[in-house]
Amino acid sequence: MNITVRIWRQHDRAAAGRMVSYGVDGISPDMSFLEMLDVLNDQLTAVGDDPVAFDHDCREGICGMCSLVINGIAHGPEALTTTCQLYMRHFNDGDTIDVEPWRSQAFPILRDLVVDRSAMDRIIQAGGYISAPTGSAPDAAATLVPKKDADRAFDAAVCIGCGACIAACPNGSGMLFTGAKANHLGVLPQGQTERHERALAMVNQHDAEGFGGCTQIGECTAVCPVGIPLDMISFLNADVLSALPRKQD
Amino acid sequence: MEQLFTVGEPIQDAKAPAGPLQDQWEARRFGAKLINPANRRKLSVIMVGTGLAGASAAATLGEAGYHVKSFCYQDSPRRAHSIAAQGGINAAKNYRNDGDSIRRLFYDTVKGGDYRSRESNVYRLAEVSSSIIDQCVAQGVPFARDYGGLLDTRSFGGVQVSRTFYARGQTGQQLLLGAYQALERQVNAGTVEVNTRHEMLELIVINGKARGVVVRDLVSGTLETHLADAVVLATGGYSNVYYLSTNAMGCNTSATWRAHRKGALFANPCFTQIHPTCIPVSGEHQSKLTLMSESLRNDGRIWVPVKAGDTRAPGDIPAAERDYYLERQYPAFGNLVPRDVASRAAKNQCDSGHGVGPGGRGVYLDLADAIARLGRDAIEEKYGNLLDMYQKITDEDPYRVPMRIYPAVHYTMGGLWVDYDLESSIPGLFVIGEANYSDHGANRLGASALMQGLADGYFILPNTINDYLAKNPVAAADSSHPEAVKALDTVRGRLERFLSINGSRTVDSFHKELGAIVWEYCGMERNAEGLEHAVGLIRALKEEFWTDVKVTGVNEELNQTLERAGRVGDFFELAELMCIDALHRAESCGSHFRTESQTDDGEALRDDAEFAYVAAWEFTGEDSPPRLRKENLEYHNVELAQRSYK
């Protein structure tokens, strides 16, 4: 396959950026999208140009590092698929493909397609955990967890923290990411004690980072590579509401 | 050929306490000096790496009150490659009442490692395994549960009890998120500071003690020195020396290799695990390989066509014309034989022309019988995400067509040598998780990597490092210290050298070529002739690398090519040591299969009289041969036996 990619190039946080077109020839349909970018980077290096900077690591869809908006869609056209698991067989010979970074006020661009997502870590720091100091744990079998709760927690816990939900949201909201963590910990018996305060602390941090509010548009869940459902946000909102009156005590 | 190595003094003391195995850990903890909580905050520890070992250790030391400076090259600590571990984590809980115990987990691990690990360390690992599960459940790790709400377990390669706890096919992710959350909790508490997108490029040693690191800020290119009272490396393994492996693209040996050059012994570098169940290579462009958890071997049956060169679709091959070769060769363990045995068996089938798929480098892993027995839903529940991943990569439906698998490099048992306290041969430098060599001998059993990483991080290091810190007060030092300045200059000089070569070949092209050499001669099978040849090839390619590599851009920017060049430069040196180690160990054991040393029916043949030791290598200079320091292994609690899974 021969394709054209139009890629966002930006030298650093302060520089202006622009879309630049490159032809990439001899692409195999069995290549991953990132392997296609590897080929492009080899071409650029050969002629002494700076290769395109992009984030990636595990290349098996679990680490959450890869982060490209492909043809206007975070992680590209395939549902439930991270950028690194997207294969060129989903494109056609002669296609022109637009490749852009995550765009959101809370994600400054560091170079080309690489953005700073540390705001998401700070949401977790604010409360996205169960306080369980090492060594203090009771026997693992001491508390039964109904299978449906364990499954629900798991369905939330699979969030890979990539930030696609935020990149896709017209409001730049991080509520799906935050809601997933509130659900994961909030449905387990171990997470009950801190449940409402956890939700409130995370949402406060979310707002302080400059993420927008949720207006239930649903773009987030549509692009989520692991299918985190929209009702995670309702759960989060309910927990936040439960926390508010207590705060006034 | 010139002399490739010299032999130095054996290692006298690994610091394991005397006495019966089951009393040693308690004795060590009681013997360790403690530090008053009020004094802990005056002590600082550098933690490099945020995987299971690094995140759990940083969190636990932070909770104890130490000041921890944590570093990772990823943009978030949550992305460390532990996240990709699939299958599960072992613990001797014996919830299944199937004969499991601490002693059995210890025994299985020593046996599985083919008797090349230290009894005292392995016993302690088995001892703390249960506490890990307790800790993770308390943190909210959503382990699989049965309908009564109790924890589910499954059996895993190489053992006959059901002791593996799991969270669907993404156990590593869930355990790492637990440790990551504990770590971020400490960031919030102010005890841990996390520096993301920072890569360690040099170790700072002052008066013989590890005191700090030089790191590069990967966004700005700024070089920084950080000093502390002790340094811990939790930087993972070196599988990416092979270029193609199941490791993440950024995994590298630089932290451990730089420490090795500063005096830390590197143990058993040739012990590298080839995992039997990975998706086969599809073409030249391939950048990494993807593992399919070996838990699939619980329900999948592995077979090849009886007739060599049979190109029929798998569905067209009747049962009588299929060779379920593991079930045939190893009736007792069948499809659940240890990884090294399963990998070599697959290679042998492909070498003899029975392989399937492109290039004949693959065997079938067939779920059809399990789907017929348990139903599609049950299989989807257990392995859904793995099977989806397989379909995305191969464009084939594993519920209908048998999966194709082939071995790939997955884990490295070798690593920096550590004593019972997990301290390297440089005082004050501790090494935990996959980065050390300690517990898996010549072969790691499935679901034991997660156990070891978390054992080291939550329970072992936090109970040994205090003893070092209490007994070794050091004078405060900052980045103006001559050793810190020297280390920074070394790093700067090396980066400038990369940028000034301006040759004609990309970093990746060198890395691919190096990987192909190591895979060919120091992969699933090794022999003396091939290994000697490989050393020559590696040296020649290394010379070409340092004269013809092309690194674009400058240091003072986000420069991913420069990052990779530094990592590949270190892989060259490690690759040579791996081949020398493999060459000197003229026996087969575990993952290390020397064709000259096999039984009549082609199984690995150990030589305990000659090789029952850990080969710890000392760096003696850029152009001088490494020195072998042996730690003799003594077994008082298990009888050395030829492994048999028949």
DSSP string computed for B551-588 = --S-SSS--HHHHHHHHHHHHHHHHHHHHHHHHH--S-
What is the total count of domains within chain B?
2
The answer to whether position B645 is within a domain reads no
Contact B229, B43 (CB under 8 A): yes
Looking at the complex, report in whole angstroms how far the Cα of residue B449 sits from the nearest Cα belonging to chain A: 17
User: pLDDT band at A248, cuts 50/70/90?
Assistant: low
CA distances from B252 to A168, B291, B572 (A): 33, 18, 12
DSSP of B601-646:
TS-B---HHHH-EEEEEE---TTS--EEEEEE---SSS--------
Please check the confidence at residue B284 and state whether its pLDDT lies above 80: yes
Question: Which tokens hold the place of B315?
Answer: 């569905």
Tens of pLDDT, residues B362-378? 999 999 999 999 999 99
Question: Which tokens hold the place of B496?
Answer: 């400038």
The answer to whether position B145 is within a domain reads yes
CA angle B548, B550, B552 (to 5 degrees): 160
Question: Which tokens hold the place of B44?
Answer: 């600082």
Question: Which tokens hold the place of B27?
Answer: 């004795």
Looking at the complex, report in whole angstroms how far the Cα of residue B392 sits from the nearest Cα belonging to chain A: 7
For B639, list phi and psi in degrees, rounded to 5: -95, 130
Q: Are residues B206 and B282 in the same domain?
A: no
Q: What is the mean pLDDT of residues A59-71?
A: 97
Please check the confidence at residue B2 and state whether its pLDDT lies above 80: no
Average pLDDT, chain B: 96
Q: Quick one: pLDDT at residue A55?
A: 98
**CA gyration radius, chain B:** 24
User: pLDDT band at B646, cuts 50/70/90?
Assistant: confident
Q: Quick one: pLDDT at residue B340?
A: 85
What CATH code would you report for A117-132+141-248? Answer: 1.10.1060.10
Q: Are residues B453 and B599 in the same domain?
A: yes
The answer to whether position B646 is within a domain reads no
Q: Are residues B435 and B381 in the same domain?
A: no
Domain A3-111 CATH superfamily: Beta-grasp domain (3.10.20.30)
Q: Quick one: pLDDT at residue A226?
A: 96
User: pLDDT band at B644, cuts 50/70/90?
Assistant: confident
Q: What is the mean pLDDT of residues B577-602?
A: 95
Residue B171: count other Cβ atoms within 10 Å of its Cβ: 26
**All CATH 3.10.20.30 domain ranges in chain A, comma separated:** 3-111
User: Which residues are CB-neighbours of B338 under 8 A, at least 6 positions away?
Assistant: B112, B157, B158, B443, B445, B643, B645
The residue from B359, B391, B408 where one domain ends is B408
Q: Are residues B419 and B513 in the same domain?
A: yes
Q: Which residues of B touch A78 (CB under 8 A)?
A: 392
Please check the confidence at residue B239 and state whether its pLDDT lies above 90: yes
CB-based contacts of B148-155 (< 8 A; 24+ apart in sequence): B148/A144, B149/A144, B149/A145, B149/A146, B149/A147, B149/A150, B150/A141, B150/A144, B150/B95, B151/A140, B151/A141, B151/B95, B153/B93, B153/B95, B153/B96, B154/B88, B154/B295, B154/B298, B155/B298, B155/B336
Residue A245: count other Cβ atoms within 10 Å of its Cβ: 9
Stated length of chain B: 646
Where residue B210 sits, what CATH number does that domain have? 3.50.50.60
Looking at the complex, report in whole angstroms how far the Cα of residue A186 sits from the nearest Cα belonging to chain B: 9
User: Which residues are CB-neighbours of B140 under 8 A, at least 6 positions away?
Assistant: A129, A130, A132, A153, A157, A184, A185, A188, A190, A191, B178, B181
Please check the confidence at residue B80 and state whether its pLDDT lies above 60: yes
Domain carrying residue B341: 276-408
| Cβ–Cβ below 8 Å for B184 and A129 | yes
| Cβ–Cβ below 8 Å for B287 and A131 | no
Whether chain A has a CB inside 8 Å of the CB on B396: the answer is no
Q: Quick one: pLDDT at residue B158?
A: 66
Q: Are residues B180 and B283 in the same domain?
A: no
Please check the confidence at residue B130 and state whether its pLDDT lies above 80: yes
Edge-to-edge strand ranges of the sheet holding B89-90: B89-90, B164-165, B153-154
The residue from B377, B408, B439 where one domain ends is B408
Please check the confidence at residue A249 and state whether its pLDDT lies above 70: no
* Nearest alpha carbon to residue B134 among B170, B173, B97, B165: B165
Please check the confidence at residue A132 and state whether its pLDDT lies above 80: yes
Amino acid at B80: A
| Cβ–Cβ below 8 Å for B142 and A46 | no
Q: Provide the β-strand partners of residue B431.
A: B233
The residue from B355, B389, B408 where one domain ends is B408
User: pLDDT band at B358, cuts 50/70/90?
Assistant: confident
- Residue B80 exposure: Cα atoms within 13 Å on the Cβ side: 34
Q: What is the mean pLDDT of residues A136-161?
A: 96
Q: Which residues of B touch A51 (CB under 8 A)?
A: 552, 560-561
Q: Are residues B371 and B393 in the same domain?
A: yes
Where residue B343 sits, what CATH number does that domain have? 3.90.700.10
Please check the confidence at residue B621 and state whether its pLDDT lies above 60: yes
Q: What is the mean pLDDT of residues B258-280?
A: 97
Q: Which of residues 164-203 of B touch A (CB under 8 A)?
A: 167-168, 170, 173-174, 177, 180-182, 184-185, 187-188, 194, 196
| Cβ–Cβ below 8 Å for A59 and B508 | no
Tens of pLDDT, residues B141-161? 999 999 999 999 988 866 889
Q: Which residues of B touch A129 (CB under 8 A)?
A: 139-140, 181-182, 184-185
Please check the confidence at residue B533 and state whether its pLDDT lies above 70: yes
User: pLDDT band at B77, cuts 50/70/90?
Assistant: very high
Which active-site residues of B does the annotation give? Answer: 339
Q: What is the mean pLDDT of residues A40-52?
A: 96
User: pLDDT band at B67, cuts 50/70/90?
Assistant: very high
The answer to whether position B239 is within a domain reads yes
- CA dihedral sign, ordered A48, A49, A52, A53: positive
Distance (Å, whole) CA B348 – CA B355: 9
Whether chain A has a CB inside 8 Å of the CB on B144: the answer is yes
Please check the confidence at residue B645 and state whether its pLDDT lies above 80: no
Burial of B401 (0-12, 13-18, 19+ CB in 10 A): middle
Q: Quick one: pLDDT at residue B295?
A: 83
Distance (Å, whole) CA A188 – CA A151: 10
Contact B498, B210 (CB under 8 A): no
Q: Quick one: pLDDT at residue B386?
A: 87
Going by the DSSP 8-state scheme, the letter that residue B162 receives in this structure is: -
- Number of inter-chain CB pairs under 8 A, A vs B: 218
Tens of pLDDT, residues B413-428? 999 999 999 999 999 9
Contact B643, B340 (CB under 8 A): no
Tens of pLDDT, residues B460-497? 999 999 999 999 999 999 999 999 999 999 999 999 99
Q: Quick one: pLDDT at residue B277?
A: 93
Contact B302, B295 (CB under 8 A): no
Q: Are residues B419 and B487 in the same domain?
A: yes
Distance (Å, whole) CA B608 – CA B613: 9
Select the residue of B84, B170, B283 nearest A158 (Cβ to Cβ).
B170
* Nearest alpha carbon to residue B553 among B195, B202, B220: B220
A147-157 and A175-186 helices, crossing angle to 10°: 150
H helix intervals, B320-445:
325-329, 339-351, 368-374, 376-394
Q: Which residues of A touch B385 (CB under 8 A)?
A: 158
- CA dihedral sign, ordered A59, A64, A67, A73: positive
Place of tokens 């190096």: B514
Q: Are residues B254 and B280 in the same domain?
A: no
Contact B196, B183 (CB under 8 A): no
Q: Provide the β-strand partners of residue B261.
A: none
**All CATH 1.10.1060.10 domain ranges in chain A, comma separated:** 117-132+141-248
Q: Are residues B391 and B431 in the same domain?
A: no
Q: Are residues B93 and B17 in the same domain?
A: yes
Distance (Å, whole) CA B92 – CA A140: 12
The answer to whether position B255 is within a domain reads yes
Contact B191, B328 (CB under 8 A): no
Q: Are residues B360 and B462 in the same domain?
A: no
Q: Quick one: pLDDT at residue A28?
A: 95
Mutation site for B-interface testing, chosen from A49, A56, A63 by largest number of B Cβ within 10 Å: A63
Q: Are residues B402 and B546 in the same domain?
A: no
Contact B629, B613 (CB under 8 A): no
Q: What share of residues in chain B are helix, strand, coil (percent, to 5)?
A: 40, 15, 40
Distance (Å, whole) CA A226 – CA A239: 23
